[in-house]
Structure 1
Amino acid sequence: MGSFFKEFLNKGKNRESNGEVIYTNDPQTEEGKQKARMEISGKVQGVGFRFSAKNAADELGIKGLVRNESDGTVYVEAIGDKESLSSFIEAMRKGPSPAADVDKVVVTFDSNIEEKPNFSQAN
């Protein structure tokens, strides 16, 4: 990855955010992988959010997908261990792209999410 992209991504890592995380249910109690879907709202389209989310997922070992929705939100499915998933949710709250401005992340734990071989970015 070029230095321009690396610099762009690093700007988003430690920034502050007023984004709110809303959990609609409790995580699964069994040990091992956690599965969650997220609806992220705010200024999250056209700002490199999906690219940055994929990079964050790859760094944390998260599998799943990210895609833009027609209503202006971003949809994410994420599968990983409890600690990594928690870190990923926090990255989504901050907005992994420095140009993003997240209002809220609605998280629903869902054991029915299909396993993915990696983390992909959909159109």
Structure 2
Amino acid sequence: MIAQHVVVHGQVQGVGFRWWAAREAARIGVTGWVRNRADGAVEALVEGEPEPVRTMVDELASGPRHAAVSGVDVEDATPTGSTRFVVEP
């Protein structure tokens, strides 16, 4: 089990990014959370087996159709043992 902390920059708020991320997480089979940041970015913690986590990070870097991702910061994180993917405010 691994975890990655991801910050997605660009036009990523007000476009359904968090709810899209939750659907993608369920489809891919990862857990964690996603939330908006005050600076306009979207932040997520993704955890699971290495390949699904990499797939989810790639999806976050692309974003949903109406998003315009300008950059992504990814750092290794400590897995929390989360059992679901949560959309936070």
Shorter-normalised TM range: over 0.9
Instruction: Please report the TM-score for the alignment, with normalisation by the length of structure 2.
Output: 0.95
Which residue is equivalent to 1:26?
none
Name whichever structure is richer in strand by fraction.
2
Which residue is equivalent to 1:48?
16
1:99 pairs, out of 35, 46, 66, with 66
Q: Relative contact order (C-alpha < 8 Å, sep 6+): which is higher?
A: 2
How many Å separate the matches in 1 of 2:68 and 2:48?
Answer: 25
Which residue is equivalent to 2:86?
120
Amino acid at match of 2:56: F
Question: Which consecutive residues of structure 2, in runs of 5 or more, have no partner in the other structure?
Answer: none
Q: CA deviation at 1:115?
A: 2.1
Question: What are the residue-to-residue correspondences of 1:1-123 with 2, within 5 Å?
Answer: 33-95=1-63, 97-111=64-78, 113-123=79-89
Question: Which consecutive residues of structure 1, in runs of 5 or more, have no partner in the other structure?
Answer: 1-32
How many Å separate the matches in 2 of 1:47 and 1:67?
Answer: 13
